[in-house]
Amino acid sequence: MLGNTLGDVPRGSLTTSVYLMLYPKPALAKVLLDNSELLKQVWQAIDCLRGGMKAIAFLMRR
């Protein structure tokens, strides 16, 4: 059982990142709305974190 962490990365980090992207502060919202490519890159980075965390969990079970 992994508990609340995957290695040194708390599982809540991913949840927090997604929440902040769904409900960004006004300044961040403006930047992301003005630059759709940046918005796409941020979501891709969050998706990579999710994939990386799954890989770490798989390796820790071995």
pLDDT higher for 24 or 52? 24
User: How far apart are alpha carbons 10 and 17 in whole angstroms?
Assistant: 12
Residue-wise pLDDT for 1-37, tens only, equals 444 444 455 566 767 777 888 888 999 899 989 998 9
| pLDDT at residue 54, as a whole number | 66
Domain boundaries, the chain: 5-61
2-40 per-residue burial string, b: 16 or more CB within 10 A, e: under 16:
eeeebeeeeeeebeebeeeeeebeeeeeeebeeeeeebe
